[in-house]
Amino acid sequence: MLVFSAESLVFLAVPKTGTTALELALRARADIAFSKQRKHITAQRFHNQIAPFLKRAFALVPERMAVMRAPEDQIRSWYKYRTRERLLDKDAATDTLSFDDFVRDVIRDDPPAHAQIGSQFRFLTSARKQLLVHHLFAYEEQPQILRFLETRFGEPVTLQRKNVSPPAEAPLDPDLRTRLRAARPEEFALYDRLRDAGGHLVSDLA
């Protein structure tokens, strides 16, 4: 998570949505930067704990931005990430699983350790399922994200490929794709709403 006071903006880092590249490009401009275990602070936690602190301590009420990825692709990125060699001796490793196996585990009521990946929808919304960011961008619309940032910062923003998942074939059985969408209807609905908005969904949180 990054806080920019002059630009009145907060960047909330949804896992597996290109956040590392964005953070590296923007970090030097940030007044406050959360990293490591606190990098992926949810919108709910920011709304309840950090936003009140920023308002009270600095009279800062920044807009919030985040990036969302196509749900299947975000889950595939988790799968590929967990095939990395440094994970092979851990419970989180997926090197012995097909992507079909991984998705079956993700949508279980009690997913095993390697399939506990959270939800983009839960990351971005309140307990009442209200979207808690002002600007939500589609990961697939990188030029639109950069235009927004360059307008906000008044200068070019350049991204480098960082923390990229290793290449791997990861097809998904059509029946499992249907089951995945049925298991995560709210996440797919939010992403569809984002795409219908042209890749930039603007919300009024007042």
Taking residues 112-140, what's their average pLDDT? 96
What pLDDT, on a 0 to 100 scale, did the predictor assign at position 141? Answer: 94
Query: pLDDT digit string (tens) for 52-61?
Result: 999 999 999 9
Distance CA 84, CA 121 (A): 26
Q: List the domain range (segments joined by +) for residue 60.
A: 2-202
Query: pLDDT digit string (tens) for 83-110?
Result: 875 555 566 777 788 999 999 999 999 9
What pLDDT, on a 0 to 100 scale, did the predictor assign at position 165? Answer: 58
pLDDT above 90 (res 160): no
136 - beta bridge partners? 66, 201
pTM: 0.92
Confidence band for 81, pLDDT divided at 50, 70 and 90: confident
What pLDDT, on a 0 to 100 scale, did the predictor assign at position 75? Answer: 97
The residue ranking higher by pLDDT, 40 or 181, is 181
Q: Which two tokens stand for residue 109?
A: 């009521």
Query: pLDDT digit string (tens) for 169-202?
Result: 799 999 999 999 999 999 999 999 999 999 999 9
Residues in Cβ contact with 4 at an 8 Å cutoff, skipping those fewer than 6 apart: 10, 11, 26, 29, 30, 31, 62, 153
* Overall domain count for the chain: 1
pLDDT above 60 (res 22): yes
Burial class (CB in 10 A: 0-12, 13-18, 19+), 185: exposed
